[in-house]
Amino acid sequence: MSADTLPANAPFPDMALGELPDDAFLRANALPPRGASLSLRAYWDALPWDIREACAWTPDTLAAGLRAFRAAHQRPIEETRLESLEIQGGRDKTGQPETQSLVLRPGDVVAVVGPTGSGKSRLLADIECLAQGDTPSGRRILVNGQAPDRRMRFTAEGRLVAQITQNMNFVMDLKVLDFLSLHAESRRLPDPEAAATRVLDAAVGMAGEPFTGATPLTQLSGGQSRALMIADAALLSPKPVVLIDEIENAGVDRAQALRLFIDKGKIVLLSTHDPLLALSGGRRLVIRQGAIAAVVETTPEEQDCARWLGLYEGRVSALRDALRQGRPLAGVWRDLAKAEVA
Ligand SMILES: Nc1ncnc2c1ncn2[C@@H]1O[C@H](COP(=O)(O)OP(=O)(O)OP(=O)(O)O)[C@@H](O)[C@H]1O
């Protein structure tokens, strides 16, 4: 069987119970199973040479064969088209009703602000699990005006929400590009290699310290890991809602990260203590005592303030880069002062 000879509507070839679809294809071609954790390239490289010689495949034809097989045999991923996400008020920590409710739409970026312990993470967690009055806040989250079904709440593929937090690290022993290719393949994109490279470029552009596709995931720093997860969530993940829990100290270019999500039309909620990030959103939710106490629109004057903060931050980061690279700061400082006068 090859990509060309595979019948478009052939039944699944006696797939064993629990067998991965790719492995059924490989078995039908007398190749060993690949399992869930290897990219196709790494699988091919790990095959004994005599098997590679004996089979009629090359890495490219095998990839094409697998793509054709999946297209013919797998159910398309059913993605929910998100038109609105509604947060219906519950109660605060003292049991008083939460009077604010709001509706978010694709492309909305909303900051979540409030003192430590006020309930910012609780709000994000309510959205993450699409709460239905069954969390401490009693909030309800509606999808397209309706209560979500069980699939959206409790199955990995049905979930609408991707979450990025401070403490994310990889435990997989794969190279960065292999991991991204694996994810792109699982999304059944027409050109998974090109998609993986796009994510890699975006991640490297955001991370403070450079890395390559050959860097093992386990060797990425905290900032590099988060840059990779942000680029992956923006460019590869089908999830239309992204929750970001305090990325201020994450060592990533935060403005660039937000732009990626906005360009993709995602709904973004970010919990933050950082004024620049908070002002990047169109609105901010002020959390007090476990409830949304106010919804504040970003004013034109605050947008001016954000531009000024952006300039200031650019200068601080130029000084930080020089510091990291062991360069004297005086020259950088003089250049910055000259640029200001100009
Ligand atoms: N409406 C609520 N009803 C009951 N408990 C709540 C409510 N909102 C938050 N809490 C609880 O209050 C505690 C602090 O909330 P949370 O961790 O969300 O605060 P935070 O604003 O994210 O804090 P930090 O800025 O320190 O991360 C948690 O135990 C949370 O479950």
ipTM attached to this prediction: 0.97
- Residue 283's SS3 state is strand
- Residue 143's SS3 state is strand
* Nearest atom (ligand 1) to Cα of 92: 1
- Distance between start and end Cα atoms, the chain: 68
Determine the Cα–Cα distance for residues 183 and 201; give it in Å rounded to an integer: 16
Predicted confidence (pLDDT) per residue in 230-276, tens digit: 899 888 888 899 998 876 655 677 777 888 888 888 999 999 888 98
The alpha carbon of 90 and the centre of ligand 1 are apart by a number of angstroms equal to 14
Strands laid side by side in the 102-104 sheet: 102-104, 85-88, 140-143
The full set of domains in the chain, from first to last, is 21-73 (no CATH), 91-160+239-298 (3.40.50.300), 172-233 (no CATH), 305-341 (no CATH)
Whose CA is closest to atom 31 on ligand 1? 122
The alpha carbon of 341 and the centre of ligand 1 are apart by a number of angstroms equal to 46
Name every protein residue with a CB atom under 6 angstroms from any ligand 1 atom.
Answer: 91-93, 114, 116-122, 136-137, 290-291
Asked whether 57 and 13 are in contact (CB, 8 A), the reply is: no
The alpha carbon of 92 and the centre of ligand 1 are apart by a number of angstroms equal to 10
Residues in the chain: 342
Asked whether 270 and 247 are in contact (CB, 8 A), the reply is: yes
Determine the Cα–Cα distance for residues 204 and 216; give it in Å rounded to an integer: 14
pTM: 0.73
* Nearest atom (ligand 1) to Cα of 290: 8
Per-residue pLDDT, 44 = 86
Check whether 1 has a pLDDT greater than 50.
Answer: no
Task: Name the residue of 121, 163, 286 to mutate for ligand 1: max ligand atoms within 8 A of Cβ.
Answer: 121
The alpha carbon of 128 and the centre of ligand 1 are apart by a number of angstroms equal to 15
Q: Could you give phi then psi for residue 326, rounded to 5 degrees?
A: 75, 15
